[in-house]
Amino acid sequence: MSKVTEVRLTLAALIYGIEIDLKSTINKNIVPYFSDLNFFQNQELIDKVSERFSKENPGIDILLNIEDSIDYLDFHDTFVILNKNKSFLTKQGSEYLKNIFKSLEEITPIRNRVMHTRPLLGGDFTTVYNFVSELSSKDPIDWTITLETKNKIENDPSYVLTLTLPTIEYQNSQQKVIHNLPLPDFDETGFIGRKNDVDDIKKLIFSNKVVSIIGDGGIGKTALALKIAYDIVDMNDKSPFDLIIWTSAKTTMLTPKGIEDIYNAITNYTGLVDLISDTLEIEKTTSDKLEEIIEYFSLFNTLLIIDNLETIQSEEVIEFIREAQMKCNIVITSRIGLGELEYRRKLKGFSDAESTKLIREIARIRDSETLLKLPQETLIEISNKLYHNPLAIKWFVNTVEAGISPSEVLNNKDDLLDFCLTNVYGKLSAGAIKILSTLRAARKSLRSAEIIYLSELEPIEVRKCLLELFKTTLISSEITDGGNIEETNYYISDFAKDYLTKNHTIDARFIKQTSSKLRDLTLSTAHLKKVNAYNTFEINAIIYRNSNEKIAAKYLQDALTLSWKKEYDEAIKKVNEARNIVPSHFESYRVGGFIKATSGDLLGADDDYRLGLEIEPENHKLLYFYSQFLLFQMEDPDSALEYAEKLAEQNVEHPSVAFLFVRIFNTKREYNKGINKLKALLENHLDSKNERIAYTELISLYNHMGQSFANIEKDFDNSLRHFKRAITVYQECAEKKILDPKMIKNFSETLLACFQMLPLTSLQDDKDYFKNLISDNDSKIGLTNMKHKIIHRFSEKFDDYSLSSLLDETNSNSDRHMGTVRRSQNNASKPFVFIQTDDKSRYYANMFDFTDINNRSDWKKIKNGQLVSFEIGSNPQGECAKNIKIIE
């Protein structure tokens, strides 16, 4: 059992003894004179005790067991009741109670902290034990149980050991903050400047569990942390902390002789735990020091300071901080932070005034006339050349003090750079060197995802190498706002940049390659913005909200391109790369689900969509695409409607969402709902693409409605009326010249269903209507695989074979396909477009393969969405469109 646990149990035993003796006094001196609980003199208390008693003793009359009811009083109630009924006590007893009443009130909150497992405060043990120690068997109140408990504790060695703990200073009611802070190493000049830093970090410490002071080597992190720690100590009783523990993992120090090792420094997790446990005087034989430490943190308001954390940063140390910060406040100085655990405070170099003051202070102490005579402007210029780094400034003054002129020191700054960075670069891994080269070639700060993309290293390798670099002074980081989350920018400090430029050149080809990749990324980003502006519910409308997601989006673009080429394995690899870069980016799950569904991996697709929705349950695009997947791939319209309705609940108004509902209603045979939604949609001003989709869906709904009337209700008149409505919509679209392959296909399906499902008696009067309809649209019907069936059904239905001559042309169109031109207005001058078919296949189409195009003027007139027929041919890049004809 740990000492702190024994202290808590000791207090519990003593306070429990006091409580029992007070309750016994009530039973002995007051209860015999009452037949009810009115001596409580508090109706609320009577009700509370009665309720507690009845709950544990159902059916038993409390008034017949008043003595037992006293057990259900709280500690505070006992001496309050005695005070209210002191007339039943002896005169000596009444006076005695008056004398100890305040002490009992002081014990009440201690009792609550002990019994309700709340952290104990300094002085708790002393307050209780001193009170008990003054009790006597001769007191007017009978303390039999309390005194027996005290004697048992004093006679039992396992309890005696615990009694030494509360004697430490912070148990004193006038306690000051206990600490093990080292003497400051800035005593020579005193702590200079950083007033805003001191004030800001104090506020952060008082309001955050983990605060990291981040900055370059030599920037003054340790001095600042030590100054703040002493300030908190000097707050005395106003300090929010009872205990400050300082640990340092600094392994080297700068002296006039150079960098020297600190041999007693912490070098690993074990050393950190050992130092803390030694500070808390935890026995060396304790088997689990970590448990003891955490327990101390639970009982005393503690501020733990870990200096130079990057020296010992490991998974064990991070896990320790993760657990300890639940019980205490932690301040860290480091060149690298802990991520989500901390609140970071970046420490920059000195200001001009602070830098010059440091130079003058050291010069004055050293009586350096050379530096004391320099004007302020010259000292500011020197500070700029020394990066306003306190360590560099001290090195400069020390070197000048050695007899070298200031100008000579600054002109030979290589000595300073080598002094700070010698052997650092040579010990770096190949991956770390490549990251440095990437940052230098990019000539700007980069996010981790950008580094992954430009360096072509694996994400885990980049993260490992960044950690490696942060153990040096070669790179720094800064937190910027990236949308709704914070992003980390990595850059090479001026200090390191000068060193690398002078000592390590970069191959020119690598610089050009990096620049080319950055240009590609910019173009990719511009394309994504255009696609999203056109329709955010397109599969390739990939959203990114910060720089890391922008890189992931580039990989997802590449994945979609590979999937359109049916290279699904490679496409999924790209998706996984995107997911490794930003695991929380919902788009990687949406695109992954789409590609897996396209390749036939339906269960894998379902898993991806569900994972994405776990990350962002209300994401519009995920809900839309998952609903679409459930409808078409899983053939589950009920579940599809469930997810579509979540979009409606969020008031997502977009034509694509409306079309999704229409298709669900169509599948569920709720045709009127779909028709009403389409009519409402068409009343708005839709762009040409969405207008075509709306009419295409309307044709489909009328067609299916006609089939339903014919097949289920056997209402052939209504059936014919709805088939004709579908045909009318098609004819209106033909007049508007907005036909597309899907619309022609739906029209053809309507004709075929009409002839197949309706009897001759219902169609007889419309023979000429249908005959002319087929003849007028022969060229378009011929582009489908239904022309032969339609004409044969017509001939058999009406016993009229006059359209058979049209079948002679069928073979000539058997190898032709329908599609629509896909081009942007910005690309109207380019001699090629893409043709997209009904099944989303895309084919390259050169201007010279259009049989109706004679010149550039005709070419520029072709609009996006133009309906064409074509044959599939090939070129060196693969399949393409050939012999392309415009369908008017």
What tokens were used for 678?
Answer: 């389409």
Confidence of residue 448 (pLDDT cuts 50, 70, 90): confident
Q: Which residues pair with 862 in a beta bridge?
A: none
Exposed, middle or buried, 284 (CB in 10 Å: 0-12/13-18/19+)? exposed
Exposed, middle or buried, 373 (CB in 10 Å: 0-12/13-18/19+)? exposed
Sign of the Cα torsion 617, 619, 620, 621 reads: negative
For residue 54, CA distances in Å to 23, 49, 292, 388 come to 19, 9, 42, 75
What tokens were used for 300?
Answer: 């005393």
- 185 pLDDT more than 60: no
Side-chain-facing half-sphere of 674: CA atoms under 13 Å: 26
d(CA 643, CA 443): 46
Q: Collect all residues with Cβ–Cβ distance below 8 Å to 653 and sequence separation of at least 6.
A: none
The confidence score (pLDDT) of residue 471 equals 59
Q: Note the pLDDT tens digit of each residue in 715-726.
A: 999 999 999 999
d(CA 232, CA 213): 16
pLDDT > 70 fraction of the chain, expressed in percent and rounded: 84
For residue 733, CA distances in Å to 270, 681, 693, 704, 727 come to 78, 16, 11, 19, 10
Q: Which residues pair with 476 in a beta bridge?
A: 491
- 141 pLDDT more than 60: yes
The confidence score (pLDDT) of residue 473 equals 62
Listed range (138-142, 340-344, 373-377, 624-628) with the worst mean pLDDT: 340-344
- 267 pLDDT more than 90: no
Residues 627, 590 contacting (CB under 8 angstroms)? no
Which one is predicted more confidently, 317 or 566?
A: 566
Q: Note the pLDDT tens digit of each residue in 276-293.
A: 776 666 665 545 677 777
Q: Which of 172-181, 225-234, 367-376, 803-812 has the highest mean pLDDT?
A: 225-234
Sign of the Cα torsion 372, 378, 381, 385 reads: negative
Q: Which among 439, 460, 440 is positioned nearest to 450, based on CA atoms? A: 439
Q: Residue written as tokens 């011929």?
A: 782
Residues 806, 778 contacting (CB under 8 angstroms)? yes
The confidence score (pLDDT) of residue 815 equals 74
User: Looking only at Cα atoms, what is the longest distance across the chain?
Assistant: 129
Exposed, middle or buried, 569 (CB in 10 Å: 0-12/13-18/19+)? exposed
- 417 pLDDT more than 50: yes
The confidence score (pLDDT) of residue 367 equals 64
Average pLDDT over residues 648-667: 91
Listed range (69-78, 370-379, 465-474) with the worst mean pLDDT: 465-474
Q: Which of 104-118, 277-291, 541-555 has the highest mean pLDDT?
A: 541-555
- The beta strand positions in 452-607, using DSSP E, are 475-482, 485-492
Exposed, middle or buried, 707 (CB in 10 Å: 0-12/13-18/19+)? buried
- 637 pLDDT more than 90: yes
Average pLDDT over residues 97-118: 81
- 835 pLDDT more than 80: yes
Which one is predicted more confidently, 224 or 263?
A: 224
Confidence of residue 8 (pLDDT cuts 50, 70, 90): low
Q: How open is the CA angle 554-555-557, to the nearest 5 degrees? A: 65
Q: Note the pLDDT tens digit of each residue in 765-799.
A: 999 999 999 999 988 888 888 888 899 999 988 99
d(CA 786, CA 807): 11
User: What's this model's pTM, rounded to 2 decimal places?
Assistant: 0.53
The confidence score (pLDDT) of residue 264 equals 43
Give kind and range of the element (H or E) at residue 612. helix 602-615
For the chain, percent helix, then strand, then coil, each to nearest 5?
65, 10, 25
Q: How open is the CA angle 872-878-882, to the nearest 5 degrees? A: 30
The confidence score (pLDDT) of residue 595 equals 95
- For residue 640, the Cα-to-chain-centroid distance in whole angstroms is 28
Mean pLDDT of the chain: 81
Listed range (365-369, 493-497, 640-644) with the worst mean pLDDT: 365-369
Which one is predicted more confidently, 259 or 45?
A: 45
- 607 pLDDT more than 90: yes
pLDDT > 90 fraction of the chain, expressed in percent and rounded: 28
Q: What are the start-end ranges of the H helices in 30-74?
A: 43-56, 66-69
- 507 pLDDT more than 60: yes
d(CA 609, CA 613): 6
Residues 216, 476 contacting (CB under 8 angstroms)? yes
Confidence of residue 828 (pLDDT cuts 50, 70, 90): low
Which one is predicted more confidently, 156 or 670?
A: 670
The confidence score (pLDDT) of residue 116 equals 54
What tokens were used for 851?
Answer: 């049989």
- Edge-to-edge strand ranges of the sheet holding 302-307: 178-179, 243-248, 302-307, 329-334, 210-214, 343-346
Listed range (186-200, 293-307, 432-446) with the worst mean pLDDT: 186-200
- 1 pLDDT more than 70: no
Q: Are strands 178-179 and 243-248 parallel, antiparallel or unpaired?
A: parallel
Q: Note the pLDDT tens digit of each residue in 842-887.
A: 888 988 888 888 778 888 888 888 888 888 888 877 889 988 888 7
What tokens were used for 262?
Answer: 């600190």
Listed range (175-179, 326-330, 857-861, 869-873) with the worst mean pLDDT: 175-179
Query: Rg (Cα) of the chain, in Å, rounded?
Result: 42
d(CA 15, CA 149): 10
Residues 560, 595 contacting (CB under 8 angstroms)? yes
Q: Residue written as tokens 């050695």?
A: 402
Q: Are strands 878-886 and 867-875 parallel, antiparallel or unpaired?
A: antiparallel
Q: What type of residue is 618?
A: E
Q: Are strands 210-214 and 343-346 parallel, antiparallel or unpaired?
A: parallel
Count the neighbouring beta carbons within 10 Å of the beta carbon of residue 190.
9
d(CA 136, CA 28): 19
What tokens were used for 723?
Answer: 């088939």
- 314 pLDDT more than 80: no
Residues 810, 782 contacting (CB under 8 angstroms)? yes
Q: Residue written as tokens 């762009």?
A: 687
d(CA 568, CA 600): 10
Average pLDDT over residues 571-597: 93
Confidence of residue 194 (pLDDT cuts 50, 70, 90): confident
Which one is predicted more confidently, 165 or 17?
A: 17
The confidence score (pLDDT) of residue 63 equals 87
Residues 633, 614 contacting (CB under 8 angstroms)? no
Q: Residue written as tokens 């050393």?
A: 271
